[in-house]
Structure 1
């Protein structure tokens, strides 16, 4: 306990350290006060007086005492907000007394350090976050995007993806947000693919045609995965957006089935055929061949493509395409061989793109399915491997 006279002596001392101690004591006493009203009024008056102290140390001690309290007097906190930068930054970052209206009008004039202090507040509203991002300071924008608790409107996320999608760090912050709309996520994935394709280290490691196939396949996988996630949430806007932007093609539809993203495939067919989603999914799961054909007719597919997709659906019903690479390889191989047999080795022009995709997938899936097979077999096999004896060594030309 400190006597009133001792407190007055400290607060009137010529030593800033003692006045600072008095300011901090007054702040603590005010926040924890449960005595008579006149005593609280005297404490409040002393807090006001410390605002005029010429020493930053004293005013900082006052601010430190009140900084985290939600019952700190607003007039005092607003005065400290306009104090020296070291005090105002702390008040901006920690004081729960401040509301958006106290900060919004000041954001335009803040320097970077002050903006960063606001970004570190425990709670930031969508309105305040938009004002901070509007300052177009990269460190500030990155901090806010990386905070999952700060709401950002879809419109602002779209604008950031368009303007800063070339920035790898900004792309990462945007893609890390769970509230990122599917269409914007797809746009950023395309920008990632373009950036990878232009990176010297990537271009130097892979032949151009193989790199193009790899990026195209990865892009299709990403799009169908995004579409599958949206379909699981019963959000059909992504498929409709792809169709409206003319980004849905035969290759992507085939890839959706081959990778096991059947709900996205169903959404696409529902949008193309203007058919209820539940009915489409039921047809894909257990519909007859004529019923499937009728659905594909509504989707505007030609006869050759209808037959191809109907066969693919029939094969997919009996295989786990989502997780089993060997099953994918089997289905793609069977479908490719059936196409060759059905058309006598002469693939119609209508099916050339689909056939090229299936052939490409056949090679990739064969590699994926083969990985680890020999190692696993060697672990369980007991007999020695029977290899033919060669009379002479093979002579291979130098590379």
Structure 2
């Protein structure tokens, strides 16, 4: 216990250490007070008095005593906001008394270290985060985007992807966010693909044609995978946006089925045919060939493409295309051979895009399906490898000249 006279002596001491002790004690006494009102008022007046102390140590001791309490007096905490940098940063970061209205007005004028202190508060609202991002400091923006607890608006995340998607670090941080809207995720994938295409280490490792095929296949896979995740949402707009931007084509539809992204494929057909999703699912699961062709005709697909996709759906019903690379390779090979045989090797113009896709996939899937096959076979093989007998004639040996 400290007598009030002793407290007054400490608060009037020429030694800043003593005054700092008095400031801290008065803060604790005020926050834990349960006595008469006049005593509480006297403690409040003492806190106000310490704001005028010339020593930073004293004011820091006062701030430290009040810093984490939701019961700290707002006028005092607001006054400490304009104190020395070390005190102001601590108050900005930790004081629960401050609300968005207090902070947003300051964000427009504060220096970067104080803005960083605000970004490190235990709770940052979307409104406050938007005000901080509006300062257009890349480091501050990245710090905020790394916080999964901040609920950014979808429009703001899309705008950030458009503005800063060229920066690899920001792109990675945005892609790591689970709440990133599908349109922003697809945009960032496209920017990442463009960056890989221009990277010297990538360009130097692969021939241009093969690099183009790999990147195009990866981009198609990302597009359909994003659509598969969006398909589980109550009212996905991803597919309608693809249709509106003319990003949905035969290649994408084929890739969705080949990679096992059936939900996305069904959403695409439902959007193109303006047919309920449930009806589309039923037709894909058990509809006849004629019913499938009728659905695809409503989607506006040419006859040759309709027949090809209908065949692919029939294969997909009996095959695990989502996880089995060997099954994918078998289906793509079968479709390619059927097209060649059906048209006597002269592929119609309407099927050129689909045939080019199947040819690309045949190579890629063959590579995937072949990985590890020989190694696994060699472990179980009993007989040695059968090789043809050496039938070449013995070479005439001439003596050295």
* TM-score (structure 1 length as normaliser): 0.96
1:250-287 CA distance string (max 9 Å, x none): 11111000000011011111111111111111111110
Report the CA distance between 1:51 and its aligned residue: 0.6
How many aligned positions are there? 393
Alignment match, 2:13: 13
Alignment match, 2:65: 65
Alignment match, 1:307: 307
More moved, 55-64 vs 40-49: 40-49
1:79-158 superposed matches below 5 A = 79-158=79-158
Alignment match, 2:398: none
More moved, 146-155 vs 102-111: 146-155
Matched, 1:198 2:201: no
SS in 1 for 2:212: helix
Alignment match, 2:229: 229
CA distance in 1, matches of 2:145, 2:236: 26
CA distance in 1, matches of 2:171, 2:392: 58
Alignment match, 1:397: none
Alignment match, 1:386: 386
CA distance in 2, matches of 1:161, 1:345: 45
SS in 1 for 2:346: coil
Is 1:129–1:151's contact at 8 Å kept on the other side of the alignment?
no
Matched, 1:335 2:335: yes
SS in 2 for 1:151: coil
Report the CA distance between 1:389 and its aligned residue: 4.3
Alignment match, 2:396: none
CA distance in 2, matches of 1:10, 1:379: 85
1:172-215 CA distance string (max 9 Å, x none): 12212211111111111111100110111111111111111111
CA distance in 2, matches of 1:389, 1:134: 77
Unaligned runs of 5+ in 1: 394-399
CA distance in 1, matches of 2:387, 2:18: 92
Alignment match, 2:318: 318
Please provide the CA RMSD for this pair: 1.4
CA distance in 1, matches of 2:234, 2:342: 38
1:236-315 superposed matches below 5 A = 236-315=236-315
Alignment match, 1:358: 358
CA distance in 2, matches of 1:125, 1:236: 26
1:145-224 superposed matches below 5 A = 145-224=145-224
Alignment match, 2:399: none
CA distance in 1, matches of 2:77, 2:377: 73
Report the CA distance between 1:124 and its aligned residue: 1.2
Report the CA distance between 1:315 and its aligned residue: 0.4
CA distance in 2, matches of 1:333, 1:158: 39
Is 1:29–1:43's contact at 8 Å kept on the other side of the alignment?
yes
CA distance in 2, matches of 1:90, 1:236: 43
Report the CA distance between 1:224 and its aligned residue: 0.2
CA distance in 2, matches of 1:317, 1:369: 20
More moved, 253-262 vs 41-50: 41-50
Report the CA distance between 1:132 and its aligned residue: 0.7
CA distance in 2, matches of 1:259, 1:198: 27
CA distance in 2, matches of 1:9, 1:382: 97
Report the CA distance between 1:122 and its aligned residue: 0.9
CA distance in 2, matches of 1:132, 1:265: 40
- Shift of the 147–283 alpha-carbon distance from structure 1 to 2, 3 Å rule, reads same
